[in-house]
Structure 1
Amino acid sequence: MRRVLKINEWFHPDGFPISVERRDPQEHFEAHAHEFAELVVVTGGKCLHVTGSDSWELTAGDVFVISGHREHEYRDLVDLRLVNILYQPNRLKMGLFDLPSVAGYHALFTLEPSRNIRQPTKGRLHLTAKELAQVIELADRLDTELKAREPGFGFMATATFMQVIGYLSRCYGRNPSPDGRAVLRIGEALSHLERNIHRDVDLDELASIANMSRRSFLRVFQSATGTSPLAWVIEQRINRACSLLRQTDRRVTEIAFDVGFNDSNYFTRQFRKVTGISPREYRMRQGSA
């Protein structure tokens, strides 16, 4: 039977959506999935990391993100030491300000967690000794805030977590491995789409940004994200519309145009396709929650 780690078992009873788990050393842990995402930083030792039919060696400096639905385990452990930062993506605004414009952010936090397990694994992030020391320092600060839980800890912990996200995103972009460059190029295409979310999708332009032919770009994008560029853009627009429906009392038609749709009827159809309900139903449910 598949083991799934539950939120209520690994997060504080107050419901805060970030937790730090240190493993020094990591003992054997059976294959499992999570109800949350896991950012893993290898601080020492080595092991074989297994996800589905894929496996690769982990050593100090390796960093990866596992999304909740992916099962994984560690085998052949040799003094393996980890810092695991557990977080609930649906409760955190990860892509704040200009972070989505950083290609490394999309490579590590959008593409890697959903990456097809049949794809090569050599593209994952590996930190230098200096970079690893910086990440460990930030993780220590995050852990301290979460343990002390002094007034304002939620703000301080979230700010520190975002520093970790931003720093790792920069690291991914600075030193991509040969295989990682393909992931990074798709990340650059996603960053371009984020910056131009109101524009029509230009496949030739995206392929040029990714330095691929149009056909290769579509194939790699679909494999990396599980969807097409147009469907990805529509989902991002719908996510933005959901935020506006929750946080403002603006008319649905106005919101549709604001997030990049030129036809309010088309917006409503796409909204229902993504969420299962109409924009007005969504607003009513949020208002009564």
Structure 2
Amino acid sequence: MFRMPLEAFTQDENFPFFIQYGEHDEPLYLHAHDSYIELVIVLSGSAVHIVDGEKYPIQKGSVFVIAEDIEHGYDDPQDFHICNIMFRKRFLDLSSFDIAGAPGFQALFVLEPQQSRTKGFTSYLKLLPDEQLNIEEMIAALHTEYTVRAAGWQTMVRAGFIRLVVELSRMYDTNRIENDAGIVKLAPALAYIERNFQEEMTITELAALTHYSERQFLRLFKEATGCRPMQYITKLRLHTACRLLRETEMSVAEIAERCGYTDSSYFSRVFLRKCGISPKAYRKDSAANSAY
């Protein structure tokens, strides 16, 4: 497998992001990304997208995300123009934004890349004509900021990219997903978890959002995320707790409640050490809280 490093496009490790327009008159050889993600928007024409040896037709309006270590390429290009946006995960922790609670975000940026690893390139966003025009204008503005590099360009690129992610997520109507789209149909359930992870929920409730049976839901959820729903919720609570502990002045008790735990002692045992917070720091925080 030929690996294409991000360094082939940009040497800036402090700003691991690259955007370009691509025109393919000839097939593009199979390759995999080395530790970066690629967002692809097809601007015109058509081609055959080869993913792990399987062939899938794509055309103007196709939007998809290629995760790291997925082998892909293009064959039979016909007036094939695309925009490639490449970035490392650390460029933006997209899961920390509220758009993560949208089914379209979960489908396009979480589930589809995972499905490409297990079941091939079976679903992707297909833009309507008016949506295509809107996205092309946003891409043009983002590309201009990236290439001209006027004062504050990095801030503008980040802001423009976040806006693009939000708009694409809004445009992704999960009701358009084909019935055999597999794990991508989990998007409404994952979005619901993102919005309500601090609340109690049942497998029955989550499965109903996907129209799968509970047995199918559990199987596909494990396939998509590597764990069961309640384990996934615990990981999400951990991720949120660690971020709040490091980035805010909230007390441990407040963070515990925000993450769905009324017992701050239990929270401290489960989360503090995993978040790298020392028991001494926790005792100091607890003592400060007890003074009020």
| TM score, norm. by length of structure 1 | 0.83
Encode CA deviations 1:1-43: one digit per residue, 9 max, x unaligned. Answer: x332323332352622332121123652332223211000111
SS at match of 1:31: strand
Partner deviation per Cα, 1:165-186 (whole Å, 9 max, x = no partner): 1111122116614247765541
Q: CA RMSD in A?
A: 2.8
Provide the secondary structure at the position in 2 that maps to 1:65.
strand
- The answer to which of 52-61 and 210-219 deviates more is 52-61
Aligned match of 1:15: 14
What amino acid is the match of 2:140? D
* 1:127 corresponding residue in structure 2: 127
For 1:269 and 1:71, the matched residues in 2 are separated by 38
**Distance in 1 between residues matched to 2:233 and 2:155, nearest whole Å:** 30
| AA matched with 1:24 | E
Task: Determine helix, strand or coil for the equivalent of 1:212.
Answer: coil
Task: State the secondary structure of the residue aligned to 2:123.
Answer: coil
Cα separation, partners in 2 of 1:180 and 1:168, compared to 1, 3 Å: farther
**Aligned 8 A contact 1:238 1:271 in 2:** no
Map of 1:237 onto structure 2: 237
Q: What is the alpha-carbon distance in structure 1 between the residues aligned to residue 25 and residue 201 of structure 2?
A: 45
Query: How many Å separate the matches in 2 of 1:21 and 1:228?
Result: 39
Gaps of 5+ in 1: 284-289
Offset, 1:86: 1.1
Distance 1:245 1:119, change over 3 A: same
Shift of 1:120: 6.0
Residues 23, 181 of structure 1: alpha-carbon distance in 2 compared, 3 angstrom cutoff? same
In the alignment, the residues of structure 2 paired with residue 163 and residue 103 of structure 1 have an alpha-carbon distance, to the nearest angstrom, of 16
Q: Which amino acid aligns with 1:9?
A: A
Match of 2:160, SS state, is helix
Report the more deviating stretch, 85-94 or 176-185.
176-185
Q: Which residue of 2 aligns with 1:197?
A: 197
Residues 267 and 179 (structure 1), Cα distance of their counterparts in 2 relative to 1, 3 Å cut: farther
Q: Which runs of 5+ in 2 are unaligned?
A: 282-292
Residues 51 and 117, structure 1, Cα contact 8 Å, conserved in 2 = no
Query: Counterparts of 1:140-159 in structure 2 under 5 Å?
Result: 140-159=140-159
Aligned to 2:225: 225
Note closer, same or farther for the CA distance 1:87–1:164 as it changes in structure 2 (3 Å cut). Answer: same
Relative distance call for 1:31 and 1:183 in structure 2 (3 A) is same
AA aligned opposite 2:71: E
Q: CA deviation at 1:87?
A: 1.8
Q: For 1:30 and 1:181, how far apart are their aligned partners in 2?
A: 24
CA distance in 1, matches of 2:175, 2:204: 27
Partner residue, 2:287: none
SS in 1 for 2:49: strand
TM-score of the pair, normalised by structure 2: 0.82
Deviations 1:72-105 (A, max 9, x none): 2222333321101112222313245531221111
CA distance in 1, matches of 2:236, 2:165: 20
1:214 paired with 2:224, answer no
Q: Percent sequence identity over matched residues?
A: 29
Moved more, 114-123 or 193-202: 114-123
Instruction: Name the CA distance, whole Å, in 1 between partners of 2:256 and 2:6.
Output: 34
Alignment partners' CA distance in 2, 1:240 and 1:162: 20
CA distance in 2, matches of 1:183, 1:236: 19
Q: Secondary structure at the match of 1:227?
A: coil
Matched, 1:99 2:91: no
Deviations 1:230-258 (A, max 9, x none): 22212222221221232235565654443
Mark the CA change 1:26 to 1:117 in structure 2 (over 3 Å): closer, same or farther: farther
Residues 78 and 116 of structure 1: is their aligned pair in 2 closer, same or farther, counting only changes over 3 Å?
closer
Q: Following TM superposition, by how much is the alpha carbon of 1:66 offset from its aligned partner in structure 2, in angstroms? A: 0.7
SS of residue paired to 1:115: helix
Aligned length: 278
- Where 1:13 maps in the other structure, the secondary structure is coil
Corresponding residue of 1:286:
none
Q: Distance in 2 between matches of 1:180 and 1:134?
A: 29
